[in-house]
Chains A and B, each alone.
Chain A
């Protein structure tokens, strides 16, 4: 079975731009979570979606938004990019409590 997939793998953006990151969960998983990991730290929770509804939100500004589609895939959108948004963005899917992570999207903001 395919694992969690994310696209793109790497991305370079300029301050003030907008970015969209994509995630496809493991087949049969209805829940998708997003995390941000900056260098040297553990991942920080951004959102969880279950059955297309937002189930949880972390301490991130409104520039961060997400949605989940009928096929359970998800997009994370970040507006007005700041240098501090440079990080590894991880997506995880789950069928119950255990979360499985994708390979991540490495975003660099210049």
Chain B
């Protein structure tokens, strides 16, 4: 099955710093989503981005489907950005709605 790898596994930033999170996947996909999991476990949708570039405030994401990777950019980080960021993909041939999640990047933003 498809493999999803996220890097870095852990990231510590000072408030105001910028960061880039990466997601590599091993096969073609028809769905790629980025999520932020808060301390209570809720998965918050950040982007649905199987290809292309999107921006939402201080966050932006780019997926290069032909090269099988996606990047999540966080600018001017705030303490509320802390938490775990997950990339999840559905394999192109799947047709089951099965999202495969990476192991996540744990972000800590210090004041």
Binding site for B on A (CB under 8 A): 31, 33, 35, 37, 41-45, 48, 50, 55-58, 88, 90, 92, 94, 97-101, 103-104, 106
Contact = CB atoms under 8 A, between A and B. Distances in A.
Contact of B104 (A42, A44, A92): A42
Given A42-B88, A106-B41, A99 B33 contact: yes
B36 to A, nearest CB: 11
Contacts of A35: 99
Interface of B: 30-31, 33, 35, 40-43, 45, 48, 50, 86, 88, 90, 94-104
**Chain A contact residues: over half helix, strand or loop, or mixed?**
strand
Given A42-B86, A42-B88, A42-B104, A99 B42 contact: no
A29 to B, nearest CB: 12
Contacts of B40: 103
